[in-house]
Structure 1
């Protein structure tokens, strides 16, 4: 009914950020790649994905 996502896909992006923060880089890339596919208009997912790939 109600979502706490400000932008569509925020929950998935946050999950990827948490994985990245916890040094689970492969998992973060996987989650964020999925988020990029599902929510290509998300304002931050591409930058966060690129940062996770860079590390």
Structure 2
């Protein structure tokens, strides 16, 4: 899966806050590749992190 990391920058969302939130919510999956979906509202600068189930393959 290709990273969408830089796409958040133009929205004005604080990237460090997003990365910190993702790291906090995925710490239990250390060493695994975990799909994460981020939804953000560029007007309010609010974001929500959705941690998906890691692949077993």
TM-score, normalized by the shorter chain, greater than 0.5: no
Considering only CA atoms, is the larger Rg found in Structure 1 or Structure 2?
A: 2
Q: Which has the higher helix share?
A: 1
Q: Which has the higher strand share?
A: 2
TM-score normalised by structure 1 residue count: 0.31
